[in-house]
Amino acid sequence: MIKQELFAEAVEEVSRYFSFLSDMGCRGLDCSAGALEIIKDWGHVKEVHAETMGSIYDESKNCRRCKLSESRKHVVFGEGDPKNARLMFIGEGPGPEGNETGRPFTGEAGELLTKIIQAINLTREIVYICNAVKCMPSGERKFLPEEISACHVFLKRQIQVVKPDFICTLGSVSTAALLKTSRPIALLRGRFHDYRGIQVMPTYHPAFLVDNPEKKREVWEDMKQLMAAYRK
Ligand code: URA
């Protein structure tokens, strides 16, 4: 179509629009300051407010997605630096100490995790630590698949907020929850896997190391790889 035809078509369209306004009873255009103020933002997309860790936590405190909510004392949500952490540690779920304190990894396994973090020249305050499941089951039992999947929505959103470069999954529960695999941790550890563009290093759970100290050497190998990539 040549330029004149395009122009004529545009004029006709504008003319049709004014006729339509006239038919609707419009007798002029309101270009007052008030009208301009009202229409100034039309067509602009409002800023989308990103979710914060605080808002996810508030939601988790009232969670009734699974039966663990009936017996828990505290939701053990997570701690560390949600804004700047480049490395996130994800455990299994709270033990009795966490259920009492509301903090992840506070018992014997927690002490070992703190030492592991210090050994790679980081601190609990500058990484982010949480669990695949946020509430403790009553009695000594494993987490059920429905409890892990009910809680996954919180874990996913925590990862989205932190946006870490690296995740270290501790043990088979968090590794399976994130990587959607049932392969044993012994076959998954020792190399990076991908979770939505984030490098994931699975390793043995600190509680397992308490009972199997000879496995610490392998965890150290995993941490060395993690640190080399982190410092690159
Ligand atoms: N405490 C936690 O918070 N997570 C674990 O996986 C074990 C103990």
The pLDDT tens digits for 22-46 are 655 666 767 677 666 666 666 555 4
pTM: 0.81
Show Cβ contacts of residue 153 under 8 Å, excluding neighbours closer than 6 positions: 65
What pLDDT does 128 receive? 98
What pLDDT does 42 receive? 63
How far does residue 62's CA lie from ligand 1's centre (Å)?
21
187 and 98, same domain (yes or no): yes
> How many whole angstroms from its chain centre is CA 115?
25
121 and 22, same domain (yes or no): no
Considering only the C-alpha atoms of the chain, give the largest distance between any 2 of them, rounded to a whole number of Å: 87
What pLDDT does 155 receive? 98
Residue to mutate (ligand 1; options 101, 131, 205; most atoms within 8 A of CB): 131
Give the domain range for residue 14: 2-48
Cβ 177 under 6 angstroms from ligand 1:
no
Low-confidence stretches of the chain (pLDDT beneath 70): 1-3, 5-6, 8-27, 29, 31, 34-49
Residue to mutate (ligand 1; options 77, 92, 111, 129; most atoms within 8 A of CB): 92
What is the amino acid identity at position 115?
K
104 and 9, same domain (yes or no): no
- Alpha carbon distance 102, 77 (integer Å): 7
72 and 40, same domain (yes or no): no
What pLDDT does 6 receive? 62
71 and 85, same domain (yes or no): yes
Nearest CA to ligand 1 atom 1: 105
Closest-lying ligand 1 atom to the alpha carbon of residue 92: 6
- Alpha carbon distance 34, 133 (integer Å): 53
What pLDDT does 97 receive? 96
89 and 33, same domain (yes or no): no
16 and 118, same domain (yes or no): no
Cβ-contact 120, 61 below 8 angstroms: no
198 and 102, same domain (yes or no): yes
**Cα dist from 152 to 55, 92, 174, whole Å:** 16, 12, 10
How far does residue 110's CA lie from ligand 1's centre (Å)?
7
Domain count, the chain: 2
